[in-house]
Every structure is written in C-alpha cells, then in structure tokens.
Chains A and B, each alone.
Chain A
Amino acid sequence: MALSRRLLPLFLRRGGGVARGPCSPAPARALSTAAAPAEVVEEESITVKGVRISGRPLYMDMQATTPVDPRVLDAMLPFYISSYGNPHSRTHLYGWESDAAVESARARVASLVGADPREIFFTSGATECNNIAVKGVMRFYRDRRRHVITTQTEHKCVLDSCRYLQQEGFEVTYLPVRSDGLVDLAQLEHAIRPDTGLVSVMAVNNEIGVVQPLEEIGRICKEKGVPFHTDAAQALGKIPIDVNRMGIGLMSLSGHKIYGPKGVGALYLRRRPRIRVEPQMSGGGQERGIRSGTVPTPLVVGFGAACEIAAQEMDYDHRRATALQHRLLDGIRAQVDDIVINGSMEHRYPGNLNLSFAYVEGESLLMGLKEVAVSSGSACTSASLEPSYVLRALGVEEDMAHTSIRFGIGRFTTEEEVDRAIELTVHQVKKLRDMSPLYEMAKAGIDLKSIEWSQH
C-alpha cells in the first residue's frame, strides 16, 4: 500500500517511464550540444477529468461501495494463492477444502440474518438477486399470480425487472411513498389482490437512507399469503435483520456494501413455507439449481468474513455512525441555513445523510467538492440529467431535487474527515450562493414561486 503510494506520483510526474539508473545514460543526450532541458519540478497532484486535486479525495460515498476490511482481505487471500480449487470438484483435496470454505461462509451469512444455511444462495451481487427474486418468482407462479407490488423508491434493478415483467403481461403496482420516504401500510394492504405474487420493498434506501417498517410489512404479507421480498443490500450488517421476526420470504444481499469484496451477493429463499423461483442462469445446477455457475470461493469467503465481522461490530459501528452523522449535520447547519434533510430522520440509517441546499445547484456543488468523494443522489442515475427519481417520489420540488448531496459515513470514516467535509461543503455552498440569483431574490424577500420564468 505505502509502496504504491510513493511510486504513483513518481510515475505521474515522469509520464510513465521506468526510472533509469546512473549506469545507463541515454546515448543521444551525451552527444548533443543543445542545453539540457530544465528539471521540471511539479507539485504532487493528480489531474483527472480537467480537475486538479492534491492527493486522493476523502471518501464519503459509502452507499456506492465500501472499502474492503483488511480482515476480510486476510481471509480471502489464501483462496487465491494456495487453496484455489473449484468448490464443485468432488474428487480431490482442492475441491473439498474449497467447498468447506464456501459452506462455512454460507453459515456466517445465514447467522447474520437469522436464517438456515440451506436458505442462502450465492450470486454475483444484489442486482442478480433482485432479478432472480422478482422475475424468478413471478415466472414460476405465472399461472396463478399475475400481480406485483413494489414502491417508487426501489433500486433501479427492481424497477427495471418489474418493467420487464409488465412487457410479459404481468401487472405491477408502484406504491407511492410519503414525504418522509416511508411506505404507507394501509395503502399497501389495500393494494394486495388475490393474484398478487410478490411484494418487494427495500429495507434501507440507498439514496436517502430511510428504513422501512419491515416487521409490519412482513406481518401484512403473511396474513394475506403473499411472499415478501426485500432488497437488504444497504441494510445487511447495519441494522439487525431477522427473517423470521420480519416475515421475509426472499432477500437480496450484497457483499461490497458491508466492507466485503465486489462481485458477490447472496439470495435468501425461505424454506418453510418454501418459495420457489425459476432460475435465471442455466447451467450445471450449482447452488441447488437456483444459480448455476462456479461459486467464486475467495469472494464468498470474503463475504462470509465480512458478515461475521459485521455481526460483532454492528452496535459499535451504529453508535459511531450516529455520532459522526450528528457532527456532520450540526457542523453544516451551524454555518449554513436553508438546508433540507431528505427522508425521515427517525427511521433512518445514520450512515446516510442526504441534504438539499436551497438556491444551489447540485452539479456545480459537486464540481467544487472534488476533494470529497460524495454523490448527488444515487450513483446509478448520476450520469443522466434528470433529478433523482427517489427524491421526486418524496415530493421534493424539482429545483430542490437538483441540489441534493448524499454523504456516506462508514466504519472507517474519521472525525477529521467529517470536519474537513464540513469545511469544504460550507465553503462551496457559500461561494455558490453568492453567485446565485435565486438566493439574491430570496434574501430580498421575493417569493420565487410567484415569478413567471421564461422556460425553454
């Protein structure tokens, strides 16, 4: 780690050449009569996408992904270097030890959510799990169940899978959410029909961090006899999950959101009563026929280790994240007014803080915050020009939806990082507000809603 950090600026400065020793001077230079070029001394900085920053930015985008915990990496490395067998090879030691490691990891994942190891199936990530859950369940029960219920704030992969089902002739109800981001339970109960095959509500929202009332939803679904699927990618290891207490039938889990490796996830499928799915990956029938393909032992071992660590450190991490979140919020609020917190503050995972700064546009704020790695809304949608659909579902006005910033706090976030983030954010917001005609008008007492804008 330290070695590459020392080497990297060297190569950036020299433009990619390998350093030559004093014993081999360039022959052409020795015979030249022209003056030698002056030694260019650049300050150590990185220029990427037209922006120059000194050093790497502070990472405050934990909802997008998390760094791998060194203890997880320690658990994974032997399976890359020496115990590299295919867990499905039944005939030799390499396969046997690999299989044992996979089963051990499976047990760890299961115990974090209160499930039986036979109910955990490894996949390539939460997106694949969501695809299997939504499409797999509905296609399996396609004769009797034609209706799906989900919310408007789900992750894109769930919404896209539902849209795909609509093209196949299924009906989908996209439930609206309240202005605090929580789903209305009465509306949910009302929407369930006799032919409803699945209710999908995510546990913790990736953009606004709101925690849905899983127990109540599970209870309603159990009463009506409808399988309850929850996308728990952001919830795993952060809030306590118990599949039996919460009546969960299917659950999507992701490795790289809990300080584990990227490229692995797990699907929880209840055994009693058994939920059946149609597999989306055809092949050799691995993972009990649910998901074919060689199970990636190192990734799965890493996932298992991450779950074990999370089980031990969940309380401590939660308390720490809460303290840091308050520090961040109070620090910003003390210096800047007219900010709005998107989503409920009571039912919220503390490591996610989504703020809207009035009269300041989000992209210009992000442009100035290059020393802090944050995101405006979700990483999936930041490429498009549209304001975040999650914020729109909350009923946030379009101009405020453009201004939101999501700060992610995690296990390795320090107080110094939070303080520096506050400093940089406040500085940028003040600078942009000085430049903003809307702020000027608001301070002069003009009601912005009363103006007739010349739209395009």
Chain B
Amino acid sequence: MMLRAAGKRLLGAAAGRQASPAGAARRGYHERVVDHYNNPRNVGAFDKDDPDVGTGLVGAPACGDVMKLQIRVDEGSGRIVDARFKTFGCGSAIASSSVATEWVKGKQMEEVVAIKNTEIAKHLSLPPVKLHCSMLAEDAIKAAVEDYEAKKAKLEKADEDGTPAGAIRTT
C-alpha cells in the first residue's frame, strides 16, 4: 500500500515534468511542421508546358533537398491564382514549401518575390540547423516567377517574329 503510494508520487512527479507542451517543441518538430507534414496543402503538379504556369526546381538530391514549386498566373492581372509543390526532403523542407504555396496564392508576382526565408522560418519555428529549408523555399518561389517571366518573354518574342505557332506555343 505504501509502496503503491510512493510509486504514484514518483509517477506524478515524472509526469508533471513531462507534460509541458512548450517544452515538447524545444528539441522536436513544431506543431505547424507536423501539421503541414500530415496534411500537406497543394501537393501536385501543373502541366509544365502550359503558358500560364511557372515552374521552379531548386536544390539537389545529393544535398537531400529538392523542391519543385509551380504557380499558375492570371495573364491579365499578373496575380497568382494557384500553386502546387512537390518536395524531396525532410519534414521541415516539406513544411516550408507547403507554406510557400499557401502564401503565394492570390498575390502579385512582385509581392511574392519579396517573401523572405526568415518569415517562413519564423512561422514554422525552424531551428537554426533547418534554416536552409526555408532558404530553398524562398529560392523556389523566385525560380518559379523567373520561369514564368522567361516563358512569357519567349512567347512575346515568338509573336513579334511571326514564328510558326507549332514551335513554342502548346495549346
């Protein structure tokens, strides 16, 4: 009887130290990272050759992080209407690219290139060792925008030159 009470007290003390949600995040994944991992938003792909789509592919398999971010831009307003991503990387990389797709939706292209990796890192409470994941996400956004602009410039040039439709344009 006494032993059981002593045991209860010991267990109580141990459990009391464990049950601190703020402490759980200290050396583990932040809740948001786990949430994005379990319920990733906007996983998928657009057709790469679609003229409204910009594709950014950054990273390298050897480094353990590859992100592909695609944006669909409304030609008239220059606004990003939809985004998709695919990532080969750790949980923080997946979360960073997932967050990136959420943030670019509905914004102008000039706005999204201003998104900084520090904002993504802060939103996910990334530890210093995982900051490169947010960097990669920022690069992915920029690469997607660049790709779209380059595509647009090529199409406009093709129009001016009067190049036959079959060369670059795909309907």
A residues lining the B interface (CB < 8 Å): 3-4, 7-8, 11-12, 15-19, 47-51, 359-361, 363-364, 367-368, 385, 387, 397-399, 402, 434-440, 448, 453-456
- Distance from A356 Cβ to chain B, minimum over Cβ atoms (Å): 13
Contact B88 A361 (CB under 8 A): yes
Contact A456 B136 (CB under 8 A): yes
Contact B60 A454 (CB under 8 A): yes
- Distance from A300 Cβ to chain B, minimum over Cβ atoms (Å): 27
Interface stretch of the complex, out of B33-41, B75-83, B106-114, B153-161: B33-41
Contact B15 A16 (CB under 8 A): yes
Question: Across the interface, which residues of B come within 8 angstroms of A3, CB to CB?
Answer: 4, 7
Q: Interface 1/0s, chain B 66-95, versus A by CB < 8 A? A: 111000000000000000001111110110
Q: Which one of A50, A387, A438, A455 has the greatest number of beta carbons of chain B within 10 Å?
A: A50
A454 vs B55: C-alpha distance in the bound complex, in angstroms?
Answer: 14
Contact A18 B62 (CB under 8 A): no
Question: Across the interface, which residues of A come within 8 angstroms of B89, CB to CB?
Answer: 361, 364
- Distance from B19 Cβ to chain A, minimum over Cβ atoms (Å): 5
Q: Which one of A4, A11, A439 has the greatest number of beta carbons of chain B within 10 Å?
A: A11
Question: Across the interface, which residues of A come within 8 angstroms of B21, CB to CB?
Answer: 47
Q: Which residue of A lies closest to B4 (CB)?
A: A3
Question: Across the interface, which residues of A come within 8 angstroms of B57, CB to CB?
Answer: 437, 454
A16 vs B89: C-alpha distance in the bound complex, in angstroms?
Answer: 38
A47 vs B23: C-alpha distance in the bound complex, in angstroms?
Answer: 11
Main secondary structure of the interface of B (DSSP, over half): helix
- Distance from B38 Cβ to chain A, minimum over Cβ atoms (Å): 8
Contact A51 B15 (CB under 8 A): no
Q: Which residue of A lies closest to B9 (CB)?
A: A18
A38 vs B58: C-alpha distance in the bound complex, in angstroms?
Answer: 50
B129 at interface by CB-CB < 8 Å:
yes
Query: Which 7 residue pairs across A and B have the least CB separation, nearest first?
Result: A49-B28, A16-B16, A399-B61, A11-B15, A453-B60, A437-B68, A363-B90
Contact of A7 among B11, B17, B29, B33 (CB under 8 A): B11
B residues lining the A interface (CB < 8 Å): 4, 7-9, 11-19, 21, 24-25, 27-31, 33-34, 37-38, 40, 43, 45, 57-68, 86-91, 93-94, 129, 132, 135-136, 139, 143
Question: Across the interface, which residues of B come within 8 angstroms of A385, CB to CB?
Answer: 64, 129
Q: Which one of B38, B58, B65, B91 has the greatest number of beta carbons of chain A within 10 Å?
A: B91
Contact of A454 among B13, B45, B59 (CB under 8 A): B59
Contact A360 B88 (CB under 8 A): yes
Q: Which residue of A lies closest to B48 (CB)?
A: A444
Contact A437 B88 (CB under 8 A): yes
Say yes or no: A448-B43 contact (C-beta < 8 A), given A7-B11, A8-B15, A50-B28. no
Contact B43 A434 (CB under 8 A): yes
Contact of B24 among A17, A50, A434, A456 (CB under 8 A): A50
Question: Across the interface, which residues of B come within 8 angstroms of A455, CB to CB?
Answer: 59-60, 62-63
Question: Across the interface, which residues of A come within 8 angstroms of B17, CB to CB?
Answer: 16
Question: Across the interface, which residues of B come within 8 angstroms of A19, CB to CB?
Answer: 8
A359 vs B58: C-alpha distance in the bound complex, in angstroms?
Answer: 15
Say yes or no: A398-B61 contact (C-beta < 8 A), given A12-B19, A367-B91, A436-B87. yes
Contact A50 B30 (CB under 8 A): yes
Q: A359-B88, A398-B62, A437-B68 are in contact. List 10 more A-B contacts (CB 8 A).
A: A7-B8, A11-B16, A16-B13, A16-B16, A48-B18, A48-B28, A50-B30, A398-B63, A440-B45, A453-B60
Question: Across the interface, which residues of B come within 8 angstroms of A402, CB to CB?
Answer: 64
Say yes or no: A454-B90 contact (C-beta < 8 A), given A11-B12, A16-B19. no
Question: Across the interface, which residues of B come within 8 angstroms of A435, CB to CB?
Answer: 40, 43, 86-87, 94
- Distance from B9 Cβ to chain A, minimum over Cβ atoms (Å): 6
Contact A18 B12 (CB under 8 A): yes
Question: Across the interface, which residues of A come within 8 angstroms of B38, CB to CB?
Answer: 368
Could you give 15 example pairs across A and B, Cβ below 8 Å? A4-B11, A11-B12, A47-B24, A49-B25, A51-B28, A361-B93, A364-B91, A367-B34, A367-B90, A399-B61, A399-B62, A438-B66, A438-B88, A439-B88, A454-B143
A180 vs B28: C-alpha distance in the bound complex, in angstroms?
Answer: 35
Contact of A440 among B4, B19, B67, B86 (CB under 8 A): B86
Contact B63 A456 (CB under 8 A): yes
Contact B86 A436 (CB under 8 A): yes
Q: Which residue of A lies closest to B5 (CB)?
A: A18
- Distance from A241 Cβ to chain B, minimum over Cβ atoms (Å): 38
- Distance from B138 Cβ to chain A, minimum over Cβ atoms (Å): 12
A302 vs B129: C-alpha distance in the bound complex, in angstroms?
Answer: 41
A17 vs B40: C-alpha distance in the bound complex, in angstroms?
Answer: 37
Contact A12 B15 (CB under 8 A): yes
